[in-house]
Amino acid sequence: MALRWLWMLVPWRGGWNPRLKAPGQEEERHVRANDRDYNERFSYADNRIKTAKYNIFTFLPINLFEQFQRFANAYFLVLLILQLIPEISSLSWFTTIVPLVLVLSITAVKDATDDYFRHKSDQQVNTRQSQVLIKGKLQNEKWMNVRVGDIIKLENNQFVAADILLLSSSEPYGLCYIETAELDGETNLKVRQALTVTSDLGDDVAKLADFNGEVICEPPNNKLDKFMGTLYWRDNKYSLDNEKMLLRGCILRNTEWCFGLVIFAGLQTKLMQNCGTTKFKRTSIDKLMNTLVLWIFGFLICMGIILAIGNTIWEQRVGSNFWAYLQWKELMSNSVFSGFLTFWSYVIILNTVVPISLYVSVEVLRLGHSYFINWDRRMYYSRKDTPAETRTTTLNEELGQVEFIFSDKTGTLTQNIMVFNKCSINGKTYGDVYDEFGHKVDITEKTPCVDFSFNPLMDMKFRFHDSSLVEAIKLEEPLVQEFFRLLALCHTVMPEERNEGELVYQAQSPDEGALVTAARNFGFVFRSRTPETITLYEMSQPITYQLLAILDFNNVRKRISVIVRNPKGQLKLYSKGADTIIFDRLDPSNEEFMFTTSEHLNEFAGEGLRTLALAYKDLDEDLFDEWMKKLLFASTALDNREEKLGALYEEIEQGLMLLGATAIEDKLQEGVPETIACLTLANIKIWVLTGDKLETAMNIGYSCNMLRDDMNEVFIISGHTMLEVQQELRNAKERIVGPSREKLSSVTNMEKTDLYSSDSVFEETIITEYALIINGHSLAHALEADLEQILVDVACLCKTVICCRVTPLQKAQVVELIKRHKRAVTLAIGDGANDVSMIKTAHIGVGISGQEGMQAVLASDYSFAQFRYLQRLLLVHGRWSYHRMCKFLCYFFYKNFAFTLVHFWYGFLCGFSAQTVYDQWFITLFNIVYTSLPVLAMGLFDQDVNEQYSLHYPNLYRPGQLNQLFNKRKFFTCTLQGVFTSFILFFIPYGAFMTAVRDDGAHISDQQAFAVTIATSLVIVVSVQIGLDTNYWTAVNHFFMWGSLAVYFAILFAMHSDGIFTIFPNQFPFIGTARNSLNQKFVWLVIVLTTVVCIMPVVAIRFIKADLKPTQTDKVRLLQQATRRQGPQEQNLRRVRRTSSRRSAYAFAHQQGYGELITSGKNMKVPTSSISTCPVSSPARAPAESRWVEGLMRNKGDLDATTPAVEITGFRRESYQSRELTLEDLEDT
């Protein structure tokens, strides 16, 4: 009970729970099935997830504690206490407590709202239902009530509630299929298999309730691909590994039901261990403001000391003459003590150099900017009714400073939808559409599709536009039929027929499913399979093939082959794989056909399509029997079995006859290449971090134009040891740095030590383009302390970086590495639970509402539906937010220094007595009423250039990355302007009032008239200044500016009126001061003179600077003004074509295939009379591939490959340069 109450009262701290043991304390885990009493002795975590920070009891104390950790809030609290001491305070306490309470309240409401949504999200997950075996019966329980040691039942398409040990399933041999997209981003199905002894338990609840096995395993950790444990049951022990575990976040697929034993629950599951902790994110401006507040506080102390010393000296020399008349106590008559009290009095008076209203205004601005993002209709995805959403309101200006983007691939850059797009059969391409003149027509959604009504088993969702291929099928062209027969036979897809004719294919990868679906629609329907047969419906006629062998895919072979016997008794070998692999094994008679197919493959690859080559071979019966004997012998060998099997596969896969090639489109999200190109022009580096394999990641890199053929070199880091990785990274760095140094040495005489002293400067000297690709096991070594620096060096010298096969935790480590070494603003974007860790680690996390659940969205700071919206988020909203916030801060510090330092100058003329120039009401209302709304309007609505120009000129984003608009230098400039303005505001009226008289000859220089003149001058000066600072005027700006001036004069005359004196005589004693002062022409002349002297230097400096040294923003703004009269011009966005000649041929597996599973019959529900004798494939290293094809194609292939890429690059650079020329011409005019 005590622990439960402690848990309620202690705030959230990254998932801390008193029931969890400290890291390292749990050396091994003991779990006994169906025995809660035993398992509770170990205090394992329950299955509750808690991401919220507060509860109803802890909110107020914890939130106030967090808010007072902000230095400014604590500073104002101290000031409030000082103001309660009458001996040192010349200001009322309400001048501080009102704005302080306002700030704390606004922030508390915002924090409470954010935490409410976290509670709502936690509740949604924790209250999901699960079937738990309790006291011999299956009962529905909430996820949060599941405990370690419980046996739970899962049904098809359900999420796995915890990390469980698979006990039994509805499938033969205890198999089940899971989708792990939430863990690793892969949507292909994976197989898990229960122990034989537990799979016999089936779905017998009585047997499962009697199961009392004990599992001893590793403690909770974040390794998704490893599990080690032992099951002890009935005096036997059984080894457990990762293939018997179902992890939280997976989805059960293609399996009716399964039972599992909970091993890890809640925050100790591997998914949650990989999620990392939620960190409090603060912008770089926030951090800078904290530093500046400390500096200002130091400056305030210095001014207080100067004035205190002045008071001490003045009291000794002048003030002591009046002590006798003042009848002070002896203590008060001490000049040193008087100086001490004066010091604290001036600390209170001058505290407005750091106004608390600044923080209120900043929060209001951020909230307003957040709503602008939420309301942006151009970031609204109508297909899914998904608007953009700002989930964290404190990071908007950071969006304008991003230098690194870390992106997931699957579901973020791509839709993870594979589409059969084109093919080449017998030297002829299919898939393009031509008009009546023979010209190629672009395919759109309105292009008519091929009519597949002749096929009753067609897939209604399949779309193809070239009717000539259907005509070839109907004409029974032999090679066309053989082409689709190969696609229907050569694979490891599992069919599921839910209803008559309703076929669903469960493929190991989406692209393999796309090929089988294409064959289905063209009349070759893969209907069913057993371990020994495959049944097709060829043009509605059932035909059964005898399956003799599957020569399975792996990353070395890069191909898959099947050997079948058709109903006529003919032996056929069908093979598909990488074109270079297949071409090396073709019969020499295919040379001319291969040349034509290679041209087609270049065309397909140039469009970013994933390609495969297809071939077949007629086998001789006697030779095949002899080969099978060798295969049987090799499969039983004890030594070098894999090498022997690989050699036999190689032997029979020679002399193939080419059929053609397929081209599959891995559909990118709309606008991805254009978005990446635009962000690259904004000098934002985009890194892809994906759990997919190397080849798949490279394919997407080429599709997105992140990888191009005109790059100098693509470095692939794949070492298995630290030394190998270190050597590969060093070689890559030498290849990059070497040529650059030679080029630089010929054009400059700079010392090398000077040239390479700055990493950022050196990176800009790299003229050529490189790419770095590193896989997960190599990255694990590269992230070690000894290698991380060289990894950062090489990666930052490359144009493109792709990390593949990375775990969620490695994604976060890469982000943290860049944050630590480059001190740059990072943004992570993803759509799955495997991206949560990097989203939390980056400065800014963006979640995409995609196909992989809502985990990434719930952990993100911003969310939307499409990757392309990132361009608008950064280049428009981010840049505007940064621009507005910087202008707001510069103006605010200027305004308050000008306002406050008047007291400093006045101190030298009032005997350092801590007398204020203004009355206390003006001091209270200046920042809250008189000047708050105009600067808010500027901070909310100002635009240096409009959104079209912001997108059209991405290099306008550069100042934010360089932090040019608000930094320490800008702060000093603003403060110096404020000091100068305060000096003019005080001494021009002071000098004028020295000898001035009223129109009636009376003296004008009473203290209140002097104060009204300075106050009026101050309000007018700062209003004029904000008018100069505002680039984009709206009705709101005009209303706030002129309204604030009107309110000032209204309040001024009201406070000096007879009526308010009658009501509050003690608070408003100066009757008629404003009226008597402001009706004098002399006073208005002083106000005008003061305004002109304060403003004219600023106007002159800005004019000279814009004329002699204009910034890029100045040029674009001038261009915008010059074209404004022409009306809005339509922006023609050209689609960035995918231009790569690289042929992607790894389109059918993310890992080794399911050949062994299929031929063993373990995944077949039908009874099998015998087990296939053909062995399964094993990894076998193919011999070195011949280069004669590459030599044959080099001249033409290279030309076809590089021309489109250069064309696209040229388009981007040419258009970019043309814009620069336009600006230069405009500048010359």
Active site residues: 408
> CA nearest 613: which of 483, 524, 464, 519?
483
Find out whether 464 and 449 touch, Cβ atoms under 8 Å: yes
Token couple for 949 = 């120009």
Beta pairing, strands 151-155 & 163-169: unpaired
Q: What is the C-alpha separation between 114 and 214, in angstroms, rounded? A: 43
792, 798 Cβ separation under 8 angstroms: no
Task: Compute the distance between CA of residue 59 and CA of residue 326 in angstroms, rounded to an integer.
Answer: 52
- CB 535, CB 519: distance < 8 Å: no
> How does 146-157 read in b/e, with b if 16+ C-beta sit within 10 Å?
bbbbbbbbbeee
- What are the residues whose beta carbons fall under 8 Å from the beta carbon of 1106, sequence distance 6 or more? 1114
What number of CA atoms fall less than 13 Å from residue 1187's CA on the CB side? 3
Rounded distance between C-alpha atoms, residue 211 and residue 1124, angstroms: 79
| Distance (Å) of CA 1132 to CA 616, 948, 952, 1080, 1129 | 48, 11, 10, 61, 9
Structure tokens at 511: 């692209």
Cβ atoms of 233 and 213 closer than 8 Å: yes
CA distances from 96 to 760, 928, 992 (A): 45, 11, 33
| Three-state secondary structure readout of 857-881 | HHHCCEEECCCCHHHHHHHHHHHHH
CA distances from 843 to 278, 544, 963 (A): 12, 58, 16
Written in H, E and C, the secondary structure of 412-466 is: CCEEEEEEEEEEEECCEEECCEECCCCCEECCCCCCCCCCCCCCCCCCCCCCCCC
Q: Return the SS3 of 144.
A: helix
* Sheet with 770-775, edge to edge strand ranges: 389-390, 862-864, 844-848, 825-830, 402-407, 685-689, 800-804, 770-775, 713-717
Sign of CA dihedral 145, 147, 151, 156: positive
Are the C-beta atoms of residues 420 and 511 closer than 8 Å to each other? no
Length of the chain: 1229
* CA separation for the pair 642, 93 (Å, rounded): 85
Structure tokens at 108: 């508390």
d(Cα 315, Cα 323) in Å, to the nearest integer? 9
DSSP letter at 996?
A: -
- Classify residue 385 as left (phi > 0), alpha (psi -120 to 50) or beta: left
